[in-house]
Amino acid sequence: MATSDDSADQPPLGPRRIVVAGAGLAGLRTAGALREAGFRGEITVLGAEGLAPYDRPPLTKELLSRSEPVWLADELGGDLFQLADRVELATPARSITPVDQPEGRVRVDLADGAEIVADVVVVATGAHAVLPDGWEGATCVHTAADAAALRGRLVAGTRLVCIGAGWIGAEVSGVASAAGCRVTVLEAASAPLSAQLGRTVGALTVPWYEANGIDLHLDARVSTVHPDRVYLADGRHVDADVVLVAVGARPTTAWLDGAVALTSRGAVSVDRVGRADASPGGFAPGTVYAVGDCADRVTERDGYVPGGHWAGALHHPALVAADIMSGPLSASDPAPHTFSTQHGHHLSLFGQPTPTDQVVLRGDPGQPGSWTALYVEPPQVGSS
């Protein structure tokens, strides 16, 4: 356990108390990176689910083959209870307020009514699944509790209707079909994963659904959802035993209530190292950071990088820790990376495709074996 009596270890003007709001991958890695960077002060980590940090990708990729979460202490190493002085897994932060100006400290109000005054706060509260109003009869899968509830309902013969063919929809529909469920996927776009991969590459995954006995409907806009039936805008309906909504996630930042600047999708707007942008909240520079799914970064190399990349939550905390400790920013900052296992195939996406990219294929997606899609920026008008 780290000691909070750090007067002999920390610089007189350095931070002495840091609060990490969030106990997922980004929160765990932030605590670990701070210790690796030499921080000897007090770290408090605040969680919301009441569980030790676990890995989210297996919740869908291995939904029916794992009955327990993949604990990050086993998967990545690093025990949160050894890294932090105080861990509250079921007491999330409820607000942050600047105090003790001009020195710049932050008061963190907790869900149980307590408060902590810290030198630095790192927001790592992640994201939550989107469930549109009126669709309460359906289910989502984002937490370990969600996965456990869904796992118990997906048995052979179950009629599963999945709304959305993004990462989550593709993974769960494939797992359920392999287990003998009767699966229908309703996707509003003209191709699966079009928002993530672009229409051209997303369309290459369409044959995977048919090959696995999944009834895929594209350009299918849902109007009404009931626990046992989904109605489409064109008047059709699909009967169901289970309705899974997989239409995306939103950053869990409502608790910040205007304290820091948010992007259009509701994430904390941060620079390359994770410092929150200036806002009417009045926080001193370098006292509020954000990492992981709840942070949208701007970098010179990649431009605007929205949160949601597992690799970002893994690697970005090292940059945050280096900046907090005023150390050299030598930590790696790899390109955004997303991966998925679906319908017997593995997909890896590096970088960020744009709608104007030209797609160049290496290999034949219609044949057995691997293939690669390269996203190439079109030549600029007038360039030689």
**pLDDT of 5:** 46
**pLDDT of 277:** 86
Give the HSE-up count for residue 216: Cα atoms under 13 Å, Cβ half-sphere: 27
Please give the average per-residue pLDDT across 288-305, as a whole number.
88
Please give the Cα distance from 91 to 113 (Å, whole number).
10
DSSP tag of 156: T
Neighbours of 112 (CB within 10 A): 11
Q: Identify the weakest region by mean pLDDT among 28-37, 211-220, 334-343, 374-383.
A: 374-383
pLDDT tens for 32-89 read 999 999 999 999 999 999 999 999 999 999 999 999 999 999 988 889 999 999 999 9
Give the HSE-up count for residue 210: Cα atoms under 13 Å, Cβ half-sphere: 7
pLDDT tens for 178-227 read 999 999 999 999 999 999 999 999 999 999 999 999 999 999 999 999 99
SS3 250: strand
Confirm whether pTM is higher than 0.85: yes
pLDDT at 333 over 50: yes
